[in-house]
Amino acid sequence: MKRTGISFLYLIGERLSDFPQELEGILNRPNISFHEAFYELTPTPEDLLLKVHSSRMIEGVRQTPYYETALYSTGGTVQAAERIWRNEIDNAFVFTGTGDHHAGRDYFGGGCHFNGAALAIENLRHKFGAKRFAILDTDSHHGDGTRDIFQDDEDVLHVCLCSQNRDDGTNVDIAIPYSISDEEYLSILEAECTPRIAQFKPEIIFWEFGYDATSGDYGSKGLSIDCHAEIARIVSQVADNACRGKMVAILCGGSRRDIARHCIPRIINCLAE
């Protein structure tokens, strides 16, 4: 049984309005810890933001209504990764009110303001001397911001399932056709993604979990609502083999409340197995 941490904040918008109530039956388990913004979770500090983003970009986010949400969303990821590093938990699920993967070094957009995975990686590097990292992105869209930050960084493997193909070692994109079956998607994941991650030998894996590729959501590739828990199982397995289970799942795109309500408890159950 894994010790799973949940980072939570109440500034997360309509799509997550069934939470944390939908986690009833999960939150009272002894291997689950719940960390809430304004209580245990603190906002990402400015000196860490400046290790990833330009001061011009940070200033731009400060002018939006999402500045505080972005600070706490990324704080949830940064602190979950720290807890994993201190061996207080094995893995984590991070609720976010604003996403990661379209936030680059000097720009933001597409519902993403600061890049939580990137901030967590820089934090682990500077505080703990961690060296190798993998980011797996199963949001429907290309993780352009994450790519912008890490494309020349050979210690970060970025594997992104999107709409283009690329493979130059640490920057990997795999084009997913529209209207793919769960079986095909999962077999691409197991054939193309997890072997690369295992071979790279990361010390921790960040999973950008977007559910917008689900049938009926805005980035639909035709995945069923049950596909995401299967993805979680595969990511957990590769984390078990590569880095003793160290993994942070970060909520990325997706708009439908019913899909969130279905997927997220199942993913957390899978992480906590």
The bridge status of strand 204-209 relative to strand 247-251 is: parallel
Biggest CA-to-CA distance, the chain: 45
Give residues in contact with Zn ion (CB under 5 A).
139-142, 160, 162, 173, 210, 212, 219, 253
Pick 83 or 141: Cβ nearer Zn ion = 141
CB of 164: closest distance to Zn ion in angstroms? 6
Distance in Å from the first CA to the final CA of the chain: 5
Give the shortest CB-230-to-Zn ion separation in angstroms. 19
The CB-of-144 to Zn ion minimum distance in angstroms stands at: 8
Instruction: Provide the minimum distance between the beta carbon of 244 and Zn ion in the complex, in angstroms, as a whole number.
Output: 27
Pick the closer one to Zn ion by CB: 22 or 148: 148
The number of C-alpha atoms within 13 Å of 33 and in the hemisphere containing its C-beta is 17
The answer for 254, left when phi > 0, alpha when psi is -120 to 50, beta otherwise, is left
> Based on CB atoms, which residue is closest to Zn ion, 220 or 269?
220
Q: How far is the CB of 34 from Zn ion (least distance, A)?
A: 27
Q: Which two tokens stand for residue 235?
A: 């990511």
Residue 102's nearest CA partner among 268, 219, 214 is: 219
Instruction: Look at residues 39, 20, 98 and name the one whose alpha carbon lies nearest to residue 65.
Output: 98
CB 93 within 8 A of CB 249: yes
Q: Which is nearer to Zn ion, 122 or 208 (CB)?
A: 208
CB-wise, 219 or 245, nearer to Zn ion?
219
Least spacing, CB of residue 214 vs Zn ion, in Å = 11
Cβ distance to Zn ion smaller for residue 45 or 195: 195
CA distances from 57 to 48, 115, 164, 186 (A): 14, 12, 27, 36
